[in-house]
Copies of this chain bind each other. A is one copy, B any other.
């Protein structure tokens, strides 16, 4: 593995933000520092950095993959309205795996859990609009 300029900047920028950006979003972030970088390079490097355990890939359901500068395993909430993602400080529930192992004939190794709901901002908007309806 070679620590190229591109790779270093991608890691740097990803560690600065808390927004769990998608690959194209990372690309936009990095372009401010390296205007000639290509999206392909961003994708390749995010993959490499994941493999090295320097960042984390959050591939939750249905949408684009997102990336997290933090390596510690944790759960996420996604806003159903604006797709914003935040961390949930709930410790990983290994007991779920144990339960599933007993209830299925699979060798259950891990699980993927994400919460869905409304972020504070979208919740406020919804409250307002339903109030207006009355």
- Which of B103, B108, B113, B119 is A111 in contact with, Cβ under 8 Å? B113
- Which of B61, B100, B116 is A77 in contact with, Cβ under 8 Å? B100
Cβ of A92 within 8 Å of any chain B Cβ, yes or no, is no
Interface residues of A in 82-122 (CB under 8 A from B): 86-90, 93, 96-97, 99-101, 103-120
Q: Which residue of B lies closest to A123 (CB)?
A: B107
B contact residues around A117 at 8 Å (CB)? 100-101, 106-110
* Distance between A119 CB and nearest chain B CB, rounded to angstroms: 6
Contact B65 A90 (CB under 8 A): no
> Given the complex of chains A and B, what is the CA–CA distance between A110 and B80 in angstroms?
10
B contact residues around A108 at 8 Å (CB)? 77, 115-117
Known contacts A62-B65, A88-B103; 4 additional CB pairs below 8 A are: A61-B61, A93-B96, A106-B118, A113-B113
